[in-house]
Amino acid sequence: MLNIEELLHNQISTAIKAVYNIKEVNSKMIQIQRTRKEFDGDFTVVVFPLLRLSKKRPEQTAEELGEYLKNYEHIENYNVIKGFLNLTITKQFWFNALQSIQKAENFGFTPPTADAPKIVIEYSSPNTNKPLHLGHIRNNLLGYSIAEILKAAGKNIVKVNLINDRGIHICKTMLAWEKWGDGKTPKDLNIKGDHYVGSLYVRFESEYKKEISKLIEEGNEKEFAQKNAPLMLQAQEMLRQWEAGNKETRQLWEMMNGWVYAGFDVTYKALGVNFDKVYYESNTYKKGRNVVLDSVAHRYNWLTQRADKSIWADLTSDRLDEKILLRSDGTSVYMTQDIGTAIERYKDFDFDEHIYVVGNEQDYHFKVLAIVLKRLGYDWAKRLNHLSYGMVELPQGKMKSREGKVVDADHLIEEMIETARKTSLELGKLDELSNDQANEVFRKVALGALKYFILRVDPKRKMLFNPEESIDFNGNTGPFIQYTYVRILSMLRKAENETNELSVEMFNLLNKSELGLIQQIYRFRETIAEAAENHSPATIANYVYELTKEYNQFYHDCPVLKEENADLRNFRIALSRTCAQTIKKATGLLGMEVPEKM
């Protein structure tokens, strides 16, 4: 299908050469934008960069180029406003574009080829000491959606998860179970395994604070109390036992992690996200530790081993500070594990790009990771990219895992479904559905509301999540988009006996609302490309919202089933069908499902 912006770019270049007798034109000088809605036209050429070639005033330059371009087959007319040349594309072009879209097997999507770039995307990366929470929801939804968008743009995608299943936090929960678990399992208590383990982590932190307070009351400094509280010393000893391979410690670790993995799987299924491969820190940290120890043996001048045996990377020449890579007791830190994991992933996939979907509080960490790997001789370190996203906050403030003050992902999903149920029942439009069918609609509406509300925000921005606002059936929300889709399907069901054939002369009858809708559908392909380039699901979310608004305007302005002109009626039915298909594909890139009734 013809790309109108590329065609215009080439034609404008031709016009400049012809009108001003220029041999070559720098393509960057040709700036094309969509015409603002308050002006007539479809595309606007910014004339100011071209004045150095024309040697004339902006208005005169625009007029001269417009006069030349009006002879181009796809341009209907033009107008000039100050230094801007507004071009109107012919109705014939937009009609033909719609026909091409309808014939395309999967319009907007680029099938990946064998030699397409391979991109590894890591997201989720939970710790096995607590259940997934609202912050994890944004992470998972971002990672999954970005993977789907890049796949739609023709890239070969590998979705991976790194489970942080070892370390002091995990040992804290293990110790808590030994002290206060009474041998109970999640099955005994009829509770999800990740929730049970999370409650043990909160119990540890509560008892640990009591010990710190007691030591401070006895006259000790706070830092001493934190390091020497009996529970912390026991947890650190358990970590050493784990790294030494102590059989009993490892068995306890495997049992409790198994509880958490089972719980995670339930939440992942509810969110509709998945992974091609799962890595475990317990399998990769040794690789990283060995790489660090080998590098110290090579006596790199930027690696130092201190008197206490801890190993540090001196990154001051990169305007950073010193970063610990191994503790004095030989145990690994997150950086050590990430070094080993990155090396293993490159060996597994030979990726062209690796995207870490991790919150912006880890910006420093990923800068250091790339620098250290590069210094260790891994040239592919330059292919590592950190998608740094803002944190999610609630109206009542930040979440705190240690105090149990988090919005648990499972509970949030349940609350969203219940809110969707109440809202849908109030509208009274599901009376003819069975309980199972209605429950499926409630689920799709709830998850659609959650996903859209989170993904519509630019990833780099911090966001405030309001569940009630997200599930509103009006405005910029998931349910509004889903309802528009359902509305179209309802109309299409009534039009099942209508012909799908379009008159080739239909383009002469197109009005402003119809053209606006066709143009918005036409932009789907370029929107995917833009979202893929910027790693931003918000681009898709904003697009599909604008598309649904365009359809509702069209539906308001143009009778469909009641239109007496058969050709025009069939055209509007076909346009509605294409719009619905585009809504479904766009929302699918966000991981949203669209119900057929609601």
CATH number at residue 532: 1.10.730.10
pLDDT attached to residue 506: 75
> How many CA within 13 A on the CB side of residue 326?
26
| Residues 165 and 309 reside in one and the same domain | yes
**Of 192-201, 493-502, 526-535, minimum mean pLDDT range:** 493-502
Q: Is the dihedral of CA 411, 416, 422, 425 positive or negative?
A: negative
| Residues 166 and 305 reside in one and the same domain | yes
**Of 49-63, 89-103, 460-474, minimum mean pLDDT range:** 460-474
Place of tokens 């479809």: 42
Average pLDDT for 337-361: 97
In a domain, 595, yes or no: no
| Residues 151 and 19 reside in one and the same domain | no
For residue 38, CA distances in Å to 34, 81, 104, 353, 547 come to 12, 12, 32, 42, 18
E strand or H helix at 45: strand 43-46
CA distance 239 to 493: 63
Does pLDDT of 499 surpass 70?
Answer: no
Average pLDDT for 273-295: 93
Banded model confidence at residue 404, pLDDT cuts 50, 70, 90: very low
In a domain, 410, yes or no: no
Please identify, among 40, 65, 89, the residue that sits at the C-terminal boundary of a domain.
89
Average pLDDT for 415-433: 83
Domain count, the chain: 3
Phi, psi values for residue 185, rounded to 5°: -110, 165
> How many residues are given for the chain?
598
| Residues 152 and 259 reside in one and the same domain | yes
List the strands of the sheet with 322-326, edge to edge: 303-305, 311-314, 322-326
CA distance 386 to 380: 14
| Residues 280 and 150 reside in one and the same domain | yes
Collapsing DSSP to helix, strand or coil, 304 comes out as strand
> What is the residue-averaged pLDDT of the chain?
93
Average pLDDT for 434-454: 94
Q: Which has the closest alpha carbon to 3: 110, 143, 78? A: 110
Residue 88 β-bridge partners? 77
| Residues 468 and 546 reside in one and the same domain | yes
Banded model confidence at residue 399, pLDDT cuts 50, 70, 90: very low
Place of tokens 């210094």: 375
- Per-residue pLDDT tens digits for 355-390: 999 999 999 999 999 999 999 999 999 999 999 999
| Residues 565 and 454 reside in one and the same domain | yes
| Residues 186 and 84 reside in one and the same domain | no
Per-residue exposure over 145-168, b if at least 16 CB sit within 10 Å of its own CB, e if not: bbbbbbbbbbbbbbbbbbbbbbbe
CATH number at residue 170: 3.40.50.620
Q: Report residue 292 as tokens.
A: 């660090």
CA distance 63 to 80: 7
Please identify, among 31, 63, 89, the residue that sits at the C-terminal boundary of a domain.
89
pLDDT attached to residue 406: 67
- Per-residue pLDDT tens digits for 156-179: 999 999 999 998 999 999 999 999
CA distance 375 to 184: 48
Structural domain boundaries, residue 381: 123-403
| Residues 321 and 465 reside in one and the same domain | no
Q: Considering just the CA atoms, what is the radius of gyration of the chain in Å?
A: 29
Average pLDDT for 488-505: 78
